[in-house]
Amino acid sequence: MSEILVIDIGTTKIALALARIVGGRLEIGFIRSYPSAGLKKGKIVDMEAMISSIKRALQDIQSNMGLKVRKAYVCASGSDTRGMYSDAAIKVKKREITEQDVDLAIEAATAMKIPSDVQAVHILPVEFIVDGVNGIKDPVGMKALRLEAKVYIITASSSHIQNLVTCCNKAGIDVEEIVLQNIASSEAILTEHDREVGTLVVDIGGGSTDIAIFYDGYLRHIATYGIGGNHITNDLAIGLKIPFKEAERIKTQFGVAIPDISFGSLKFNGNQHEIEIVGLDKQTIKIPFNVIKEIVYARCEEILEIIKKEVDLISEDISISSAVFTGGTALMQGFVSLAEGFLSMPVRVGKPDAGIIAMANELGLNENPAGYEELEEIYNPQFSSTIGTIIYAIRTGTLNESSTGIEKVFDKIATWFERKIKKIT
């Protein structure tokens, strides 16, 4: 497999990663983040600024690696992301299910009317039903009269996806595939056990929060909201009357998600000391630490309330046993404890090691990626969606070479989507 370039486009940062498989081992030769411009709340508001941001990142990887890459997997938060189920049944002609039958069933399930302002980004088979028996993952070779396919179709704003592709094209990159951050983060931080028992995945970026829920091995729900870590920074900047850059420093260095309150059995007694900050007039002022904590807590509470309302929409037949958070905000002191209280379930910070190990076991690779000693960012939660896109690309690329049975179905869906993207460009 040749080099895989990933461009992970966020509101506050663009991450670039270069990877390949060498000698049965994942080798990540480059991973770095750069300032992003042109996005607001996960939506493109300035295409020229976005193009310039991508170009600057590409120039850096070219100067460092001496490699000029023309194609990339692009990871981004989807504007107005939604998911919907669809199903359809066909008659099995030869009384034994073939790959062609599976293709026809999935094609029939995806033949539904989608509003003109959105487009399908991911189409994921959920299950197959053979003569009334459900829960079947690979029906090829089974004797049957009737085959039904159930798929989960993930859509996003058509204009948003088209603008992303256009920005990349103008920066000199052909888009191999768009991978939504919900999907990418899940690839990086979930184990197979997580997917089976029911897990809520939340990626809190700078300008958006991406939600995905897995149960019984499949993605069951997806959503995106235009609120993220930048909103905490904005509140600090406005509330303390300080520059945005200084507010970001204060959030990163002193941000605590829980103020001086009792929360369940937990008691947080904050320090009463003051913090020196630089005001708008560039003069140093002192602000009580508790004031900073109250501002940070209020916005963290709002983000968690949105997540909780989304979880409450899930049907009763889907069980969620725990939540995994990723992104920079998840690393904030006290955030995990606050999330556990709000969601009433165990919460942990997800790191990409789970996804790398799962992929290695699935494909027979070495679990330890080359370059880890030099590139500690590989396991940083802020790069979860970046690493997850690498995992996604390797899985689909590997299946292209030697896929059989139901794996070919996933491969054909990926190929179908790639054709759709190329039509846009």
- What residues have CB less than 8 Å from 246, skipping those under 6 apart? 237, 277, 278
User: Which pLDDT band holds residue 267 (cuts at 50, 70, 90)?
Assistant: very low
Q: Residue 315, SS3?
A: coil
pLDDT of amino acid 47 = 95
pLDDT of amino acid 41 = 82
Over residues 295-343, the pLDDT tens digits come to 999 999 999 999 999 999 888 889 999 999 998 888 888 999 999 999 9
**What token pair was written down for 333?**
């002191």
| Strand 25-35 versus strand 146-157 pairing type | unpaired
In a domain, 405, yes or no: no
Query: How far is Cα 19 from Cα 277, in angstroms, rounded to an integer?
Result: 41
Residue 253 has pLDDT above 70, yes or no: yes
| Residue 132 domain boundaries | 82-156
DSSP 158-182: HHHHHHHHHHHHHTT-EEEEEEEHH
pLDDT of amino acid 361 = 82
**Strands across the sheet with 13-22, in order?**
174-180, 71-76, 4-9, 13-22, 25-35, 366-370
Query: How far is Cα 422 from Cα 162, in angstroms, rounded to an integer?
Result: 10
Domain count for the chain, please give it: 1
pLDDT of amino acid 36 = 93
In a domain, 310, yes or no: no
In a domain, 200, yes or no: no
Phi, psi angle pair for 272, to nearest 5°: -100, 5
Over residues 36-66, the pLDDT tens digits come to 999 988 889 999 999 999 999 999 988 888 8
Instruction: Compute the average pLDDT of residues 169-182.
Output: 93
User: Which pLDDT band holds residue 406 (cuts at 50, 70, 90)?
Assistant: very low
Long-range contacts of 46-49 (CB under 8 A, 24+ apart): 47/163, 47/166, 47/167, 47/170
CATH number for 131? 3.30.1490.110
Query: How far is Cα 21 from Cα 364, in angstroms, rounded to an integer?
Result: 11
* Cβ-contact 176, 75 below 8 angstroms: no
pLDDT of amino acid 268 = 43
* Cβ-contact 343, 220 below 8 angstroms: no
In a domain, 146, yes or no: yes
Share of the chain above pLDDT 70, in %: 88
- Tell me which H or E stretch contains 278: strand 274-278
| Strand 4-9 versus strand 71-76 pairing type | parallel
DSSP 329-375: GGGSBTHHHHHHHHHTS-EEE--THHHHHHHHHHHT-EEEEETTTT-
User: Which pLDDT band holds residue 88 (cuts at 50, 70, 90)?
Assistant: very high
Q: Residue 327 region, left (φ>0) first, then alpha (ψ -120 to 50), else beta?
A: left
pLDDT of amino acid 195 = 92
Residue 404 has pLDDT above 80, yes or no: no
Over residues 91-149, the pLDDT tens digits come to 998 899 999 999 999 989 988 788 888 888 888 888 899 999 988 988 999 999 999 99
Share of the chain above pLDDT 90, in %: 49
What are the Cα distances from residue 57, in Å, to 3, 68, 390? 17, 12, 17
Instruction: Compute the average pLDDT of residues 366-392.
Output: 78
In a domain, 111, yes or no: yes
Over residues 206-235, the pLDDT tens digits come to 889 999 999 988 899 999 998 999 999 999
- Give, as one character, the DSSP assignment of residue 64: H
Q: Tally Cβ neighbours within 10 Å of residue 184.
A: 30
In a domain, 102, yes or no: yes
Instruction: Compute the average pLDDT of residues 345-364.
Output: 87
In a domain, 396, yes or no: no
In a domain, 215, yes or no: no
Q: Which of 105-119, 187-201, 260-274 has the lowest mean pLDDT?
A: 260-274
Residue 412 has pLDDT above 50, yes or no: no
Query: How far is Cα 335 from Cα 255, in angstroms, rounded to an integer?
Result: 10
